[in-house]
Chains A and B, each alone.
Chain A
Amino acid sequence: MSTLHTVNKSPFEKNSLDTCLGYVAGGSAVLLLEDGVYAALKGTSVEPKIKSALDSAKVYVLGPDLKARGFSEDRVIEGISVVDYAGFVDLAAENAKVQAWL
């Protein structure tokens, strides 16, 4: 059963991304939103973690929250898909449940 995991904290502030990635099963989806979008950026110390998560899970980042923080989509790690709120709603509907890692 696939799950949409949402992470809204910066990985440099809290360890919710780590906790989330520890639970993510193959075929699941992870959505980075709010300050969670910092984990989607190229060149940070968490990039290897995200890249290895991308081997088994799908990773998404909320575009409006990237933009609100001044980041363009070309700053995002390859393999991560940028979605808008409509995409967020679709992900919540497509997956069997939604787990927020607050």
Chain B
Amino acid sequence: MKFSIQINEGPFQHQASDSAYFFTKTALEKGHEIFRVFFYHDGVNNSTRLTTPPQDDRNVVERWADLAEKHDLDMVVCVAAAQRRGVVDDGEAQRNGKDATNIHPKFRISGLGQLVEAAIQSDRLVVFGD
């Protein structure tokens, strides 16, 4: 079955990113397809490569990136939510005159159309948030 996942909450706010990660990982292990993981609202904070949690804590960003690497996941960050929160890729840095980027290379910034497409193309859209 084809799933898409929407995450509305930051990595260290509560539990949504953890729940979404374990759901996604388990769905893949069970042979399901993940069409897209869409990061919305504070969920865009899951995509910054500059995150440095303590060594004895899980690294939420790297954990998503590893899963994406292993299963070729399409991980999309909402552009408007990202701009508000200072999550920047090369294109956004150029467009908005910023002197740095911070998005992890396994994520890409795009628009809400990607969420709508995911909802249409997938059998199920599962939402995690606060």
Contacts and interface: CB of A to CB of B under 8 A. Distances in A.
B26 A92 contact: no
A98 B32 contact: no
B20 to A, nearest CB: 11
A88 B26 contact: yes
B22 interface: yes
Contacts of A98: 124-127
Q: How extensive is the interface on chain A, given as a class?
A: 10 to 19
A1 interface: no
Interface in A20-69: 33-35, 64-65
Q: How extensive is the interface on chain B, given as a class?
A: 20 to 34
Contacts of B129: 100, 102
Contacts, number: 51
A85 B127 contact: no
Given A8-B15, A34-B14, A89-B26, A100 B3 contact: no
A98 B128 CA distance: 11
Contacts of B1: 93
Nearest to A34: B15
B69 interface: no
Contact of B128 (A89, A90, A93, A100): A100
**Which 4 pairs between the two chains have the least Cβ-Cβ distance?**
A85-B26, A100-B127, A102-B129, A34-B15
19 contacts: A8-B19, A8-B128, A33-B19, A34-B15, A34-B19, A85-B23, A85-B25, A86-B29, A89-B23, A89-B27, A89-B30, A89-B32, A90-B30, A92-B23, A92-B124, A93-B32, A98-B127, A100-B127, A102-B8
Given A8-B19, A89-B32, 14 more contacts: A6-B126, A34-B15, A65-B19, A85-B22, A85-B25, A86-B26, A88-B23, A89-B23, A89-B30, A93-B32, A93-B123, A93-B124, A100-B126, A102-B127
Interface of A: 6, 8, 33-35, 64-65, 85-86, 88-90, 92-93, 97-98, 100, 102
